[in-house]
Structure 1
Amino acid sequence: MTADGNPRSTKRRSQRRPDTWAGIGMSFPALLGLVLFIAIPFVYAIIFSLQNIQVSQAHPAKFWGLTEYVRLFTNPIDSGPFLRAMLNNFVFAAVVIPVQTGLALALAVLLNRKLKGVKIYRTFFFMPVVFPMALVAVIWRLILDRSSQGLLNSALNAVTFGHVQPHDWLGSSSTALASVILLSIWQGVGFQMIIVLAGLQEIPQERYEAASLDRAGAWQQFIHITVPGIRNTLIFVVLLTTILSFRVYDQVYILINTAGANQNATQTMLFQATNAVFNENDLGQASAISVILFVIVVIITVVQRAVLRQRNES
């Protein structure tokens, strides 16, 4: 008998305890991984960002406070590599997030139809995802080569009958970042497409049959059935694409070091952080950049989730 006079409440609580402990036990490996590989490194990054730590020197670290953060934000964009890298990151994300999500949705809707050889098409669009980034960079290096033998320059020369001169797509500051964006969309859209396609296949076919009986067109079915049916999937895809957009590094590093890409126009915050620690031996600055990047991603993700959740509820 409990204080409220209901003996069943005690029985229910005793039944919940095994489930609670089972849930804690199953989530413990994931929680342990988060603590070991995210929480603890982030705490150390905050500590290191407040100190002057030179990797190649044996001098003891000196406490600098917020000096590293002030140095990062007080340099103008023209001379401050971090501010330029931050601007590149935001431009990259502003283009990649909507374009890649829209293309993933369009491809998923197209490949969700009963087409002949649809599995071949799905494999074809997903193939760039499993390619190593080094191979992807080599492919696009051949496409964007500055000489007249580059595939893109050759195609433009053939279409315009020789009236267009070869262009340095990666070396020019006006097209370098756009080239990296195009490469990233081509390489990553297949992954988002598969996620959206899985969401589309969960929509009951009866809804489309009922809409057809009501004489609803293809566009009306897409707006009123398809999009609401995969709204949560699209939210997940947008959040995932946002995180990956701010983590862009591999293609930038490879194209800068092997293809002569314009470093000022293509470098990102993650590239700047690795450059600070490996080329400049400044662990404090690299840690400060990592902390800023983490905070930016968390803020944008929380804001996006709140906005998309409000739209979902409305």
Structure 2
Amino acid sequence: MASKLTLSNRAGWTFVLPGFALIFTFIVLPFFFAIGLSSTNQRLLSPNPTQFVGLENYRQLLGLAVVTLEPERDDAGKVVRNEAGEIQYPRLREITRSDDYPQYRGMREWFRWQSGENVMIVIASDVVFMKALVNTFLFVLVVAPVQGSLALMLALLINHKVRGINLFRTIYFMPVVVSIVVVSLLWRFIYDGQNGLLNSILQALTFGLFQPVDWLGNPSTALPAVMAMSIWQAVGFHMVIWLAGLQTISPTLYEAAAIEGASKWQTFRYVTWPGLRNTAVLVLVVITMQGFALFAQIDVMTNGGPLDSTQTLVFQAVERGYGKQDISGGSTISVILFAIVLAISLIQRWLTRER
């Protein structure tokens, strides 16, 4: 039965409504506005009138195809090879620029692999967006379990009433309260390829045998370097969440486990971990959301490079929307990101449901 609007309810709504109004004005309304912009060709500054393009922006971003290139053959039917003995293939542009294949027009090569004598090439309408999509998923898949596990280990270590434990809690949490821009600048100096602290330490440990690496200038190390910094920066925040969950577990359960002769691993498996179920769900969701929102580290440390190896969805949305003044493109990426995060959140909710 619905409760009546009492004086206390009226006072509560009076306090809540300003917050709801702000959320609706600055979050809900702009989101629906972004959905509308994603179906147009709107630019930030353009003399041309805005036109409705439907799902064309989504097709431009998500367009993918696989093209098979067969070896070139001579009149006798033999495979043509160059002077180095490599098999010769037709140029991809002969397909992507041909009127015979209008569905491939304007698409570019993303990656390829060999399948027997044939070459399989994945082409995309927007290769940079695809790289950003893969990098974002890779970042989340690596950072979420590693950061969550390290935070849990730290929480277990400091969940003891011993002298000086608050000092360690403060030290572990300190990077969280520092601005992410400041942390990113600090780690950019640490990763410097010439006089960076990391290279200096590794050279000292190997007595000069280690060759300096440009961690942020190498496509194979740039994204892992950003991952390592992100894990270090936010692990203290999730440690506090784990610690709050640990302190809700009744000490009598640990006493009962000790009386039964349970080992430390058995105690963790059958007492601690079941008691942290709801906390684990919260930590997983928070890390996932933070991972998909990756922007500041990329903007400060790599600016999406080198060779687009650290492009992410949020960075691409901001870069296109404001850097290239392509508001419709940035809005489209934002809507796609929202759909991805919503789908993952629903999957996480289903996987962690009560059974």
CA distance in 2: counterparts of 1:194 and 1:15, whole angstroms:
38
Structure 1 residue 222 displacement after superposition:
0.8
Q: CA shift at 1:263, angstroms?
A: 5.5
1:234-253 alignment runs, 5 A limit: 234-253=280-299
Structure 1 unpaired stretches of 5+: 1-12
CA contact (8 A) 1:93 1:242 kept: yes
2:204 and 2:141 mapped to 1: Cα distance?
Answer: 33
Q: CA-to-partner distance for each residue in 1:196-219, whole Å, 9 max, x for gaps?
A: 111111111111112111111111
**What do residues 86-135 of structure 1 show as CA deviations (whole Å, max 9, x unaligned)?**
00000000001111111111111111012321000000000000111121
Matches within 5 A, 1:134-153: 134-147=181-194, 149-153=195-199
How far apart in 1 are the matches of 2:2 and 2:330?
51
Distance (whole Å) between structure 2 residues aligned to residue 27 and residue 298 of structure 1: 25
| Higher RCO (Cα < 8 Å, 6 or more apart) | 1
CA apart distance, 1:21: 6.0
Q: TM-score, normalised by structure 1?
A: 0.88
Say which of 322, 342, 345 aligns to 1:301: 345
Residue 32 (structure 1) aligned with residue 18 (structure 2):
no
Q: In the TM superposition, what whole-angstrom CA distance separates every residue of 1:31-85 from its partner, at most 9, and x where no partner exists?
A: 4343223221111001001111121223321111111111112255466211110
The one-letter code of the counterpart of 1:262 is P
1:214-233 pair list within 5 angstroms: 214-233=260-279
Change (3 A) 1:82 1:150: same
Matches within 5 A, 1:212-291: 212-257=258-303, 261-262=305-306, 264-291=308-335
Return the structure number with greater helix share: 1
Higher strand share: 2
The partner residue of 1:168 within 199, 214, 217 is: 214
1:205 aligns with 2:251: yes
Judged with a 3 Å threshold, the aligned counterparts in structure 2 of structure 1 residues 213 and 36 are, in CA distance, closer, same or farther, namely same
Q: Which residue of 2 aligns with 1:51?
A: 40
Aligned length: 296
SS in 2 for 1:59: coil
Deviation at 1:15, TM superposition (A): 6.2
- Tell me the TM-score normalized by structure 2: 0.79
CA contact (8 A) 2:172 2:236 kept: yes
Q: Which amino acid aligns with 1:48?
A: L
In the alignment, what sits opposite 2:86?
Answer: none
Q: Are 1:239 and 1:305, in contact at CA under 8 Å, matched by a contact in 2?
A: no
Structure 1 196/30 Cα, relative in aligned 2: closer, same or farther at 3 Å?
farther
Structure 2 unaligned blocks of 5 or more: 64-106, 112-125
- The 2-side partners of 1:41 and 1:294 are apart by 13
**Correspondence list, 1:84-233, <5 A:** 84-147=131-194, 149-233=195-279
Superposed CA offset, 1:134-180 (max 9, x none)? 21012211211111x21111111112222221111011111100000
Task: Please provide the CA RMSD for this pair.
Answer: 2.0
The amino acid that maps onto 2:37 is F
Aligned residues with identical type, % of pairs: 42
Do the aligned partners of 2:305 and 2:311 also contact (CA within 8 Å) in 1? no
